[in-house]
Structure 1
Amino acid sequence: MEESIREIVARHGRLTRAISEVAGGDDLYSLGLTSHAAVNVMLAIEDRFAIEFPDSDMSKNTFGTMDSIVATVHRLAG
């Protein structure tokens, strides 16, 4: 699951660093993720895992790090 999420972030996140160089706790927003790019990441993750992010998870905290994205997707996907 994490590898798929990393591929999505690499494709849609517009980061300034290669995804292979991004640690789980790195601040994605400081690496170039914008709110627009975060929405694209969210939509791609929803499509890939057939989940829907509730309003409560549509926040900068959710998409701020790879660790937080992966944890949220694990929780939502069950």
Structure 2
Amino acid sequence: MNTTTDIHNVEAVVREVLGKHGRLVHDVYRLPKDASLGDAGLTSLASVNVMLALEAEFGEIPEALLTRSVFRSISSITRAMQSLTA
């Protein structure tokens, strides 16, 4: 799961989940992967919906990954979800 293609596949799923559940004020597909999701409109309530949708895609998210820093950007969520699939 360490290939560039796999990272892009995980990122694509993360972007799709954010697009459906994140209630962002910016187009998630144009948002830079390191942009602040808080600045893009992700609220704490929406982040719960995103977390539940991510669990449906990747399996249970360990409590250690349920932090503000993980939900800071697309790239940080992607890294966390990739760690679940490794």
**TM-score, normalising length from structure 1?**
0.92
**Which one of the candidate residues 38, 49, 52 is aligned to 1:29?**
38
Is 1:41 aligned to 2:50, yes or no? Answer: yes
Structure 2 equivalent of residue 8 of structure 1: 17
Structure 2 gaps of 5+ residues are 1-9
C-alpha separation in 2, matches of 1:74 and 1:4 = 11
- In structure 2, C-alpha distance between the alignment counterparts of 1:9 and 1:20, rounded to whole Å: 10
Q: Which residue identity lines up with residue 57 of structure 1 in the other structure?
A: L
Tell me the distance in 1 between the aligned counterparts of 2:54 and 2:46. 12
Uncovered stretches (5+) of structure 1, i.e. residues with no partner: none
Task: Show the counterpart of 1:53.
Answer: 61
Identity of aligned residues (%): 35
Aligned equivalents of 2:70 and 2:32: distance in 1? 16
What is the CA RMSD across the aligned residues, in angstroms? 0.9
What are the superposed Cα offsets for residues 48-74 of structure 1, whole Å, 9 maximum, x if unpaired? 12x211111111100110000000000
Structure number with bigger Rg: 2
Aligned pairs, how many?
77
Residue 4 of structure 1: CA displacement?
1.3
Cα separation, 1, equivalents of 2:35 and 2:11:
15
